[in-house]
């Protein structure tokens, strides 16, 4: 009997490549999210530092201009914080969408793997049947030879 060959092997290889590509994109998006979250953390730390500095300026007694400049800088950092949070939200949505793409690609690969398993089972059943027929024929020929004195 000839060697087993999955009839949809090329499609399965293609789907495997698609899955790996989509997993790579998901990994890249998660890396970008981690970078954005680290930047958010830096902004939060800087805002905390700026607020401590502002309190120190109030305590030491400084000019209204210096306080105004400091408050504007804090306000700009708060805007940056708001924008960074929005970027994180958008990146999380992007990750959710990509995760669904990965899940769909995984399902496709899984379907093909199940089909391959089914074809292997059919192949093995046919191989078993072929072996049984060979054995029956061998035994039958052996019995015939004994009966005919060969």
Q: What is the mean pLDDT of residues 82-98?
A: 98
pLDDT band at residue 149, thresholds of 50, 70 and 90?
low
pLDDT of 146 > 70? The answer is: yes
Ordered DSSP codes for 94-141: HHHHHHHHHHHHHHHHHHHHHHHHHHHHHHHHHHHHHHHHHHHHHHHH
pLDDT at 12: 92
Q: Which two tokens stand for residue 27?
A: 């990994």
Confidence bin at 117 (pLDDT 50/70/90): very high
Tell me: the pLDDT tens digits for 67-78? 999 999 999 999
Structural contact between residues 26 and 102, judged by C-beta atoms closer than 8 angstroms:
yes
For 10-55, the pLDDT digits (tens) are 999 999 999 999 999 999 999 999 999 999 999 999 999 999 999 9
């Amino acid at each position: 009997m000839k060697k087993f060959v999955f009839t949809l092997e090329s499609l399965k290889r293609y789907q495997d490549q698609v899955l790996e590509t989509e997993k790579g994109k998901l990994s890249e998006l998660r890396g970008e999210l981690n970078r954005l979250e680290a930047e958010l953390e830096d902004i939060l730390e800087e805002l905390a530092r700026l607020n401590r500095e502002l309190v120190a300026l109030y305590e030491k007694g400084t000019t209204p201009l210096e306080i105004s400049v400091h408050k504007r800088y804090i306000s700009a950092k708060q805007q940056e914080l708001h924008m960074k949070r929005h970027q994180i939200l958008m990146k999380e949505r992007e990750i959710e969408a990509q995760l669904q793409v990965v899940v769909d690609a995984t399902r496709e690969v899984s379907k093909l793997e199940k089909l391959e398993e089914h074809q292997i089972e059919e192949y093995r059943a046919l191989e078993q049947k072929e072996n049984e027929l060979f054995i029956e024929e061998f035994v039958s020929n052996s019995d015939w030879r004994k009966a005919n004195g060969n």
